[in-house]
Amino acid sequence: MRILVSLFCGTLFGAGLLISGMTDPQKVLGFLDVAAIPDGNWDPSLALVMAGGLLIAFPIFRFAKSRNTAVCGGTMELPTRRDIDRNLVIGGLMFGIGWGMVGYCPGPAISALAFGHPETIAFIIAMIAGMFFHKLAAHASDKTAS
């Protein structure tokens, strides 16, 4: 049952990204290019997509925080840390710079793989490599700390 619910949720998320145009990096870059505001070429639609996501996510997270177990069973693993540390800031900067350079973040990039564009495939390979090297570095720092 959990696999079917996960499949449904992932499909719904991917469809939402596709319908909203977030799998098109040019649409995202059109939003991020605030210098285009005076020319009238700025695309504010991503802000509406984000607002819609928040409207849906906020009550669901409030509901989830009130539970001890997930709806489909299993433990709830919601984030508990609230501090802002160096790694969070550096990660946020890297994410923002990458998003601004290519117009993809992980979810839309994975959805856009269905179109088979070489630049999307290159982004996914780079993203996976980054995850691998981060895990490798974290593992190495764990060994030196102990």
Query: Residues 117-137: pLDDT tens digits?
Result: 999 999 999 999 989 998 998
Residue whose pair of structure tokens reads 């060994």 in the numeric block: 143
Query: Residues 63-100: pLDDT tens digits?
Result: 988 888 888 888 888 888 899 999 899 989 988 888 88
Buried b (16+ CB within 10 A) or exposed e, 91-126: eeeeeeebbeebbbbeebbbbbeeeeeeebeebbee
Number of domains in the chain: 1
Q: Is 69 helix (H, G, I), strand (E, B) or coil?
A: strand
Structural domain boundaries, residue 81 = 2-145
